[in-house]
A and B are shown apart, each in its own frame.
Chain A
């Protein structure tokens, strides 16, 4: 087991290098630092001095991959590639284009993100599994058919409408919670409630339908037929046999997204003005802060790979039939 995990971590290294190279090419080769400076400082009336100053303040004035001017190791280390990309491997994110420490910002901003994503995930699982079980229990009746129709309609609506609608109905018409914002401590609950609810409703359609398919698949299996044949009640069959076996794919599907909870949801956070990593990223995109976007790309990839490894591990825990070698 530990051997397996170690090997997976070693396999992850070339992938992270790949991610790094892709982002490096995107940010520094497709467009030179000169062009980025010009973009930031305004198009037409930029002096060369201003560009040089902008570049040297942010460390973009070095050669891209190979510094011929420096000595021995400096040829490699005193370059943009080393300073901006290689350092990401040790999670040294450096400074953003407006001079803030990205690592510190990330450590501060992940908590509000988690305050939204964790309750959304837990409550969501509870709700979707219950709905899916109900539909599976009433399979092929009108409840099931209409349930699926409602699911399809709900998943055909853009998430933007759920957010706008939620803000309008709950905050503007009913005045139940503030429309957006965030507060620390227990005060946060009233700010968190609406985003969580909206997130829950927004993905009810696709998740319920997907879980229903999983449960129905289990229901066609032999052990369920055996359970019914030996006279177990439908309730026992549903909860002990179908639910338990259906949970294996559901839980492993959840494990993949666990690390990504840190990143938060871009759209939700930005709409509800929650100071998490999602809105951090959006702000960076909108103010064209390349350093932050690059750091978040890297962080996201790391978390995704961790998610993949966790998934494989969780398979062995959830399903004793599977052994990793």
Chain B
């Protein structure tokens, strides 16, 4: 039985909007040219592949449902109260195989010593075997290295096979699009004869697919990234955190975009008191230190939620509300910058001949703003969306540290860092949660930054003229 969280609905709405935007860009030359320019940059395309990889995982994690209960004996179908996502189904093993507490990556034995009672009745203090990690091994010391190497190689081979199939599908579609045979398309890709760097795209895809399939294969037998304090697999947490990170980065923008665009264009188009009021609003909001406003709002949300605890049916729903609210607050904080940019640009556009002509012909204000101003400020909107994204993902970690981030029960990189931070004093050090959050975050943010750079270079008219 499907469950739709508000954030799920919004993320799919966002997807629809992106699709519409792609359609719009494809039909208009002034959008197509810069996008093609982005497409010709190898680094940007490699980043785009990485971003798509993250987005796929995030979307899989946004399809929620109540699983059907098996064998209850009732005639009608029963549903569990638990809420799962499509990603949970794919990673069922990771989710269910929880250990007692910390264990290192690839560990077969627990992280700390425990009293174990031997079969002959004696009791010794030693590192106990893990319940799941490496439980298929009989003699861990002898078999371990060989087993890991073997499993890695198997995973890599599977990955390569998947990659080959994917590549052939992509090349086939490409050749269909170009109306030539598969072989000549392949040749042109291998010999770098395309404007769009298809070889870079395929290689990036290959690296991603091979690494993830090796990890996926290994994770059937080991905790590849270790387990955390309550014994949950760190890899599973990192994967679940992707959705949170993506949501914070995109929903915030989605929430603020209508305000920023409407207010910015209105302020620039109508001078006088409308301009004054809008300027006043954004200067006031801007002058409140961001973290403090977020903190104050989240504090208030906490008070509200504890006093109205019964209106939330499940933990997930509560966490979801908090995430949405956080996006809202972040959106309120961050629309001011874009609004100011749009105001300035609109003021410039109002002096341009075609806008003046439209005004002289008596075209209504609304139509002028929609048809003549909006399309000409879209590049600013787009640049600011892609640039804001990485900052928002990074901000989430900081907010989690001050306890004003997403709900502590929700997986997010910020929460992972925050809980791992407290374990830094342990000896030997528990580094894997931190390391996993670091790698996953760096991957997303770096890809987003590189992609944003390419988009900015392609769309910013100031840069376009100087090159």
A residues with CB within 8 A of B? 14-15, 18-19, 22-23, 26-27, 30-31, 35-36, 38-39, 43, 152-153, 155-161, 164, 167-168, 172, 220, 260, 263, 266-267, 270, 281-282, 285-286, 288, 290, 293-294, 296-297, 300-301, 304-305, 308
Contact = CB atoms under 8 A, between A and B. Distances in A.
B446 A158 contact: no
A158 B299 contact: no
B434 A164 contact: yes
A294 B288 CA distance: 11
A284 to B, nearest CB: 9
A35 B424 CA distance: 38
Nearest to B291: A266
A172 B413 CA distance: 24
A304 to B, nearest CB: 4
20 contacts: A18-B280, A19-B288, A27-B300, A30-B300, A38-B307, A39-B306, A155-B449, A156-B442, A156-B446, A156-B449, A157-B442, A158-B397, A158-B445, A161-B434, A164-B417, A263-B289, A267-B398, A293-B299, A294-B296, A305-B287
A285 to B, nearest CB: 5
A267 B453 contact: no
B297 interface: yes
Contacts of A161: 417, 434, 438
Given A36-B303, A266-B291, 9 more contacts: A15-B280, A18-B281, A39-B302, A39-B307, A158-B413, A288-B299, A290-B299, A293-B292, A304-B289
Nearest to B396: A158
Contact of A27 (B288, B296, B429): B296
A43 B299 contact: no
A19 B287 contact: yes
A35 B287 contact: no
A163 to B, nearest CB: 9
Nearest to A304: B287
Interface string B414-425: 000100010010
Contacts of A19: 284, 287-288
Nearest to A307: B287
A164 to B, nearest CB: 6
B385 interface: no
Q: Which of A164, A172, A263, A305 has the most CB of B within 10 A?
A: A164
Dominant SS at the B interface?
Answer: helix
A260 B408 CA distance: 30
A251 B401 CA distance: 32
A305 B280 CA distance: 13
A152 B43 CA distance: 12
Contacts of A35: 303-304, 307
B291 to A, nearest CB: 6
Given A164-B424, A285-B402, A304 B286 contact: yes
Contacts of A43: 306
B1 to A, nearest CB: 32
Contacts of B450: 152
Contacts of A159: 394, 398
Interface in B265-307: 280-281, 283-289, 291-293, 295-297, 299-300, 302-304, 306-307
B403 interface: yes
A15 B398 contact: no
Given A43-B306, A156-B442, A164-B434, A301 B288 contact: yes
A51 B398 CA distance: 34
Contact of B424 (A18, A152, A167, A281): A167
B417 A39 contact: no
Contacts of B285: 22
Interface in B244-278: none
B466 interface: yes
Given A31-B304, A164-B434, A158 B293 contact: no
Contacts of A26: 296-297, 300
A293 B296 contact: yes
Contacts of B302: 39, 288
**9 smallest A-B Cβ distances: which pairs?**
A300-B289, A18-B284, A156-B446, A156-B445, A301-B287, A304-B287, A285-B295, A158-B397, A31-B303
B47 to A, nearest CB: 11
Contacts of B390: 156
Contacts of B402: 266-267, 270, 282, 285-286
A297 B289 contact: yes
B467 to A, nearest CB: 11
A148 to B, nearest CB: 9
A16 to B, nearest CB: 8
Nearest to A305: B287
B436 interface: no
Q: Which of B283, B424, B434, B453 has the most CB of A within 10 A?
A: B283
Contacts of B171: none
B292 A160 contact: no
A158 B441 CA distance: 8
Interface in B432-448: 434, 438, 441-442, 445-446
Given A158-B397, A158-B417, A168 B424 contact: yes
A9 to B, nearest CB: 14
A280 B203 CA distance: 50
A55 B411 CA distance: 37
Nearest to B453: A152
A160 B397 contact: yes
A168 B421 CA distance: 11
Contacts of A288: 299, 302
B326 interface: no
Contacts of A152: 446, 449-450, 453
A281 B292 contact: yes
B404 interface: yes
Q: Which of A15, A38, A168 has the most CB of B within 10 A?
A: A15
A37 B57 CA distance: 43
Nearest to A300: B289
A293 B296 CA distance: 7
A88 to B, nearest CB: 13
A22 B289 contact: no
A220 B466 CA distance: 9
Contacts of B442: 153, 156-157
A31 B446 CA distance: 40
Contacts of A153: 442, 446
A19 B296 CA distance: 13
